[in-house]
């Protein structure tokens, strides 16, 4: 899969002629496409039990899913979500994000890897990331966590059915990540949640510093 940067370098101006065609009544994904796959009910229960037992005190992710596609390339036609089952196994825990404070469990799943390749080939999606890593986000803004201390998730991961959403790249501008349909995307909600927590932490820190200065002046 090409990264978004590679695509821009090769195509300095994206040809949007088809997007300006007045014969097209609607652009379904003007800012890109986000596709995720749901966890089976059994797997979701097992993951939540793990979160409750081993991630106490952390900012737990309650909207469990696995990302298949995160593409910022505009797409005109509506995409029908696939219906299937996929299997995976525990691979490792990792910290994602620019601040490396998003705890994920990476899942080894040839089913999801093949599905990602199928979608990329069929719809010519473009990703910001160099390679596809199937993973489930467990917690945001993690602090003081030793990945080696976390027991492996010794159960099979089962996935079923996809959800296709317009990618909202303006998630930071709206606290509730409201899209055109009035619903926030999963990825937008997650990113907004992380941003809001970080801003609150900075506000609390600034308030504490102001209080300390005020006490010293008195």
Domain residue limits, the chain = 4-170
Tokens of 187: 């990825």
Residue located via tokens 């014969």: 23
Residues 106-134 have a mean pLDDT of 95
Q: Which of 59-73, 160-174, 202-216 has the lowest mean pLDDT?
A: 202-216
Tokens of 126: 């473009």
Distances (CA, A) of 36 to 33, 125, 183: 10, 14, 16
Return the number of other C-beta atoms located less than 10 Å from residue 70's C-beta. 19
| pLDDT of residue 17 exceeding 70 | no
Distance CA 62, CA 48 (A): 8
| pLDDT of residue 57 exceeding 50 | yes
Residues 104-133 have a mean pLDDT of 95
Distance CA 82, CA 162 (A): 5
Residue 130: the pLDDT is: 86
| pLDDT of residue 157 exceeding 90 | yes
Are 147 and 97 spatial neighbours (Cβ–Cβ below 8 Å)?
no
Q: Is 11 exposed, middle or buried (0-12, 13-18, 19+ CB in 10 A)?
A: exposed
Assigned CATH for 4-170: 3.90.1140
The percent of residues above 90 in pLDDT, for the chain, comes to: 60
Residue 146's pLDDT band (cuts 50, 70, 90)? very high
Are 159 and 34 spatial neighbours (Cβ–Cβ below 8 Å)?
no
Identify the CA nearest to 115 among candidates 151, 145, 88, 75. Answer: 88
* Alpha-carbon dihedral sign for residues 75, 79, 84, 85: positive
Residues 94-120 have a mean pLDDT of 96
Residue 173: the pLDDT is: 40
């Amino acid at each position: 899969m090409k990264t978004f940067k590679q695509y821009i370098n090769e195509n300095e101006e994206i040809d949007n002629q088809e997007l300006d065609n007045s014969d097209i009544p609607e652009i379904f994904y003007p800012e890109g496409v986000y596709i995720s796959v749901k966890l089976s009910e059994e797997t979701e229960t097992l993951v939540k039990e793990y979160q409750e037992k081993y991630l106490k005190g952390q900012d737990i992710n309650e909207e469990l899913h696995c990302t298949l596609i995160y593409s910022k390339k505009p797409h005109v036609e509506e995409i029908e979500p696939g219906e299937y089952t996929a299997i995976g196994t525990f691979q490792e825990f990792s910290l994602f994000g620019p601040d490396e404070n998003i705890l994920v469990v990476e899942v080894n799943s040839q089913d999801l890897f093949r599905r990602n390749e199928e979608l990329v080939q069929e719809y010519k999606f473009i990703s910001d990331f160099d390679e596809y890593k199937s993973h489930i986000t467990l917690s945001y803004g993690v602090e003081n966590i030793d990945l080696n201390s976390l027991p492996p998730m010794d159960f099979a991961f089962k996935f079923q059915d996809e959800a296709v959403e317009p990618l909202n790249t303006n998630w930071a501008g709206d606290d509730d990540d409201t899209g055109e349909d009035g619903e926030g995307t999963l990825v937008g909600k997650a990113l907004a949640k992380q941003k809001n927590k970080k801003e609150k932490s900075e506000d609390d820190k600034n308030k504490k510093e102001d209080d300390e200065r005020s006490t010293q002046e008195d």
